[in-house]
C-alpha cells in the first residue's frame, strides 16, 4: 500500500482533472444514448486516469534521462526563474530510474487491461483509439519522436485528453460516436492544451536552457507567446458557437460562456508574468479551489501555481457546465 501511495503521489495526481473531467463530460453526454452501458463507461474513465498518471511518470523518466532533473535548481541558483521540485523523489535518491520505469510500465499496463476488457465488448475500434493515445502519450517526451521537445507537446496533450479521450469514452459507453461529442471535444482539447501552454510560457527559460522546444520556445518572443494564448482562448469559445451554428450542439451550451471571466483573468495573469515575473498574485475566490496556497507560497512556487491552477480551473468549470447542461436540459 505504501508503494502505491508513493508512486501515486509522484505521478502528479493534482493534474488529473485535465483528463478525468473531459472523460467524465463525455460519459455524461453518452447517458442519453440507448446503447449506454454505465460500467463500461466508468471503466474507460479509470483507464484514462491511469494512462494520464503513467504518462506523467514517463515524462519524469525521460526528462531525467535527458538531463538530471536537478538542473532546475541549478538554473535557479544562476538567477534564472525556474519552477523547482520536479522529480525531487529521483534527485533525492528515494528511488531509482529503473524503479521509475517499472512504475511507468505497471501503471500503463493496468490502463491497458481496462482497455482490453472494453475491447471484448465494443470491438476493435476501442483498440485503435487507445493505442493511438498510448503511443503519442509515451512519445510526448520519449524517443524517437519526443514531441514535447519539438514544439508539439501542447497539441499532443490537447488531442489526447480532448478528442481521443472523449470519443474513446463515448464509444466505450455506447459502441458508437455522436457528432455532439466531437464538437464538445474540440474546445475541451483546446483548454487542456492551454494548461500545458501556460506551463511552457512560465518554463520558457529552463526549457530553452535544456534544449526543450515547447511552443513557447518555438515562438521565441513574449508578444508572440501572448498572442498565441489569446488565439487558443478565443478559439475555445468560437468552437462552441460553431457547433451550435452547425446544429450539432444545443444553444444551451452557450452557458459555457460563463467561464470567460476566468479566461480573461488567466490572460491578465500571463500578461503580467511576461512583463514582470517577480510580481506576486494571490488567487481570487471566484477562480475556484487552489488547495493550501499559503503552503505553496512558502515553498516558492506560488508565482507558478496561481497561473497553472487558474488554467486547470478554467477547464474544470468548462467541463462541469457541459455536464450540467446535459443533465438539466437533456442536451
Alpha helices per DSSP H over the chain: 2-10, 17-30, 38-66, 71-77, 88-91, 97-122, 124-138, 153-159, 165-174, 179-202, 204-210, 215-219, 222-245, 260-275, 293-298, 302-329
Which has more confidence, 76 or 239?
239
pLDDT exceeds 70 at position 155: yes
pLDDT exceeds 70 at position 185: yes
Which has more confidence, 330 or 37?
37
Give the per-residue pLDDT at 82: 55
Distance between CA atoms of 266 and 202, rounded to whole angstroms? Answer: 13
Which has more confidence, 237 or 209?
237
Give the per-residue pLDDT at 69: 53
Domain ranges of the chain: 2-329
Q: Residue 77's pLDDT band (boundaries 50, 70, 90)? A: very low
Give the per-residue pLDDT at 157: 93
If phi > 0 it is left, if psi is from -120 to 50 it is alpha, else beta; for residue 276 that is beta
Contacts of 62 by beta carbon, 8 Å cutoff, 6+ apart: 141, 142, 143, 146
What pLDDT, in 10s, does the model give residues 252-289? 999 999 999 999 999 999 999 999 888 889 999 999 99
pLDDT exceeds 60 at position 197: yes
* CB contact at 8 A, 226 and 164: no
Provide the mean pLDDT of the chain: 89
- Residue 101: name the closest of 136, 64, 133, 134 by CA: 64
Rounded percentage of the chain residues whose pLDDT exceeds 70: 93
Distance between CA atoms of 168 and 181, rounded to whole angstroms? Answer: 10
If phi > 0 it is left, if psi is from -120 to 50 it is alpha, else beta; for residue 330 that is left
User: What are φ and ψ of residue 150, in 5° steps?
Assistant: -125, 20
pTM of the prediction? Answer: 0.91
What pLDDT, in 10s, does the model give residues 13-53? 988 999 999 999 999 999 989 999 999 999 999 999 999 99
Rounded percentage of the chain residues whose pLDDT exceeds 90: 66
pLDDT exceeds 70 at position 71: no
Amino acid at each position: 500500500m505504501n508503494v502505491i501511495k508513493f508512486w501515486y503521489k509522484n505521478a502528479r495526481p493534482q493534474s488529473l482533472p485535465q483528463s478525468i473531467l473531459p472523460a467524465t463530460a463525455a460519459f455524461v453526454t453518452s447517458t442519453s444514448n440507448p446503447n449506454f452501458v454505465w460500467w463500461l463507461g466508468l471503466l474507460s474513465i479509470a483507464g484514462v486516469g491511469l494512462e494520464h498518471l503513467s504518462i506523467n511518470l514517463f515524462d519524469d523518466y525521460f526528462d531525467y534521462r535527458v538531463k538530471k532533473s536537478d538542473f532546475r535548481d541549478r538554473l535557479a541558483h544562476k538567477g534564472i526563474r525556474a519552477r523547482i521540485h520536479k522529480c525531487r523523489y529521483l534527485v533525492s535518491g528515494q528511488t531509482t530510474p529503473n524503479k521509475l520505469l517499472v512504475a511507468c510500465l505497471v501503471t500503463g499496463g493496468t490502463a491497458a487491461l481496462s482497455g482490453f476488457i472494453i475491447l471484448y465488448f465494443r470491438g476493435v475500434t476501442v483498440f485503435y483509439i487507445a493505442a493511438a493515445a498510448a503511443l503519442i502519450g509515451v512519445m510526448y517526451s520519449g524517443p524517437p519522436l519526443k514531441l514535447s521537445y519539438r514544439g508539439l507537446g501542447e497539441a499532443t496533450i490537447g488531442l489526447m485528453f480532448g478528442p481521443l479521450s472523449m470519443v474513446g469514452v463515448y464509444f466505450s459507453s455506447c459502441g458508437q460516436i455522436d457528432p455532439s461529442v466531437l464538437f464538445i471535444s474540440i474546445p475541451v482539447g483546446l483548454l487542456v492544451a492551454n494548461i500545458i501552454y501556460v506551463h511552457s510560457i512560465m518554463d520558457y527559460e529552463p526549457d530553452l536552457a535544456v534544449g526543450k522546444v515547447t511552443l513557447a520556445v518555438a515562438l521565441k518572443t513574449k508578444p508572440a507567446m501572448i498572442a498565441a494564448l489569446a488565439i487558443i482562448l478565443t478559439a475555445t469559445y468560437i468552437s462552441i458557437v460553431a457547433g451550435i451554428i452547425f446544429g450539432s450542439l444545443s444553444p444551451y451550451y452557450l452557458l459555457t460562456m460563463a467561464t470567460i471571466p476566468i479566461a480573461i483573468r488567466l490572460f491578465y495573469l500571463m500578461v503580467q508574468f511576461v512583463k514582470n515575473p517577480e510580481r506576486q498574485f494571490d488567487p481570487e475566490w471566484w477562480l475556484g479551489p487552489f488547495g493550501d496556497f499559503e503552503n505553496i507560497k512558502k515553498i516558492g512556487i506560488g508565482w507558478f501555481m496561481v497561473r497553472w491552477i487558474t488554467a486547470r480551473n478554467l477547464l474544470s468549470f468548462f467541463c462541469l457546465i457541459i455536464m450540467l447542461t446535459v443533465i438539466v436540459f437533456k442536451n
